[in-house]
Amino acid sequence: DSQVDYLVVIDFEATCDRVQPNPTIKYDTQEIIEFPFVVFDLQTLTTTHECQMYIKPQWEWNKQLTKFCTTLTGIDDNILQNKGITLEEAIQNFDLFIEEYFTKKNKSFCLACDGTWDI
């Protein structure tokens, strides 16, 4: 029996570039462009919720995604323009979801990430 009711898996996507030796986007200038998460019920071993939020970057360095980033993530400027929200709004939405889905129902959960960058 699991002591945790649900697993919430997050897999952020961020602005990126692969141009060497001078990429336009570096590790310290990346911005989150997607905040997706999946809720997995550890009792039934089923996915119970999926959410995908696109984030409009602040664009301090450039006004569009690199070709490399679009190819890697499948996210383009039109998606961000038409479906994007601010990172602050995404965090607020996630917080509200956690409150409604877990806290108010007295359910426990654990966060997991797809990779070290997501931490």
| CA atoms of 39 and 29, how far apart (whole Å) | 29
**Global pTM?**
0.88
Query: Contact, 33 vs 75, CB < 8 A?
Result: yes
| Mean pLDDT, range 93-116, rounded to an integer | 94
| Mean pLDDT, range 6-27, rounded to an integer | 87
| CA atoms of 3 and 8, how far apart (whole Å) | 14
Q: How does residue 4 score in pLDDT terms, banded at 50, 70 and 90? A: very high
Q: What is the pLDDT of residue 2?
A: 65
pLDDT digits (tens, 9 = 90+) for 27-84: 788 899 999 999 999 999 999 999 999 999 887 656 789 999 999 999 999 999 999 9
- Helix, strand or coil for residue 33? strand
| CA atoms of 104 and 89, how far apart (whole Å) | 21
